A = this chain, B = another copy of it.
């Protein structure tokens, strides 16, 4: 499996009636540039362009997919070097962390993590054996050596990966200094920010007050009520747009977007500023801010990305000891049909609004998402997200939404990557799965091969470009 090259037909359908068609369709997309508009790579990585530190820091510690799997099998987070908030020491030796991971490679059988890592190790770093207890040290040394070479620095990889544009994710208060450095270095067109105001619109999250203070400092005036908050957000959207932003990004527990009156919204914000946050009010305010964001987006043209339905930090003790984003976010059912109704009634036909919906609740694929995207001009469906960004998840997505939404109400492939080196792996995999799905339509005489090939190119490149085009 892990030799010096991966099998050229990997993740294409095995069926002999489909594989040759899939191969031909995939060939039309395999070398197309990558449009990466929903990533979580830190802009500083590319602004600094320093070498990556070591294999553990690159592949293990920050990858919550990987950490959660090892934790589920009894590996303590300490042994993986996941930092603690209380300052107690965790494993610091990258080689030890790497060994812990490598000796448990079998746990990843059948997972996308396996496929992504295999791609990165073989295609990007030229490893020639799979991770194991036996190979761990050899791989660690091999990777360390490569990481020290100039062609493995972030910008060199960015070029090699053929990334056309990469979007980062940035808090509302961000000064976008790293993006300014990138622009000064001539990289401003290729790395753009995304506006993510979650921290200041969720009044009941622990960091809300700090986030608001940071926003006040960025804006230079106090935020004393709802209108101040809206003004601040609108100003930051202008600044983000000026720095190249194409989109905003919104992670909410639900998809509710019921507007409040300005007076009601103000009452809730003023109470929160006094430290009084009613849980129901906080939920209602978050829903209101989705509605309000759609209003702003319809005016300034920033694409509005919504990915609801994840209960963050399922285990509060882990949140307390390790912080967020360490693998304890668990999906819940999401009601798009009723939740988005007020927003879509108000802005669903507005020519200025483009809204991209993501989900981790695949039950909504055919029941809600495809029917909504299949009628409201403002709505596009993003790629299957997070736990569903997998070969079978992507296949089920196409099989469930194409009937009603077609291909052209989707954005094509959008990765959601924290791990910079895995960006090509993810696009490559998505292109293979879409090629396989399209091959089936051809083999069942539901599309011509020409149509399928054109559609594959659209899903890989044209639709992501067009979906996030400056407006």
Contact = CB atoms under 8 A, between A and B. Distances in A.
How big is chain A's contact interface, by range?
Answer: 35 or more
A68 B314 CA distance: 39
A264 interface: no
A74 B377 contact: yes
Interface stretch (A45-53, A266-274, A284-292, A340-348): A340-348
A409 interface: yes
A333 B367 contact: yes
Interface string A273-288: 0000000000000000
A7 B108 contact: no
A125 interface: no
B445 A6 contact: yes
Contacts of A407: 109-110
Interface string A1-26: 10000110111111111110000000
A295 B19 CA distance: 52
A339 to B, nearest CB: 11
A14 B330 contact: no
A406 B66 CA distance: 11
Contacts of A315: 344-345, 348-349, 376
- Copies of this polypeptide in the complex: 3
A343 B304 CA distance: 37
A126 interface: no
A416 interface: no
B317 A406 contact: no
B446 A110 contact: yes
Given A1-B445, A445-B6, A406 B69 contact: yes
Contacts of A408: 73, 106-107
Interface in A383-429: 387-388, 390-393, 396, 398-400, 402-409
Contacts of A107: 406, 408
A340 B9 CA distance: 41
A190 interface: no
A363 B367 contact: yes
A345 B314 CA distance: 8
A372 interface: yes
A399 B392 contact: yes
Nearest to A328: B375
A69 B374 contact: yes
Contacts of A14: 15, 17-18, 440, 443-444
Contacts of A406: 69, 107-111
Interface stretch (A83-91, A158-166, A447-455): A447-455
Interface in A151-178: none
B366 A387 contact: yes
A374 B68 contact: yes
A360 interface: yes
Contacts of A106: 408, 451, 454
B330 A372 contact: yes
A72 interface: yes
Contacts of A263: none
A373 interface: yes
Contacts of A400: 392
Interface of A: 1, 6-7, 9-19, 68-69, 71-74, 106-112, 114-115, 311, 314-317, 327-333, 335, 337-338, 341, 344-345, 348-349, 351, 360-363, 366-368, 370-377, 379, 387-388, 390-393, 396, 398-400, 402-409, 440-441, 443-448, 451, 454-455
14 contacts: A1-B447, A10-B446, A11-B446, A14-B17, A14-B443, A74-B377, A109-B406, A110-B398, A311-B341, A329-B371, A330-B368, A332-B335, A333-B335, A392-B400
Given A110-B403, A314-B344, A316-B345, 20 more contacts: A9-B444, A11-B444, A68-B375, A72-B376, A106-B451, A109-B406, A110-B398, A110-B441, A111-B404, A315-B344, A315-B348, A315-B376, A329-B371, A330-B372, A333-B335, A366-B388, A366-B393, A371-B387, A390-B403, A393-B403
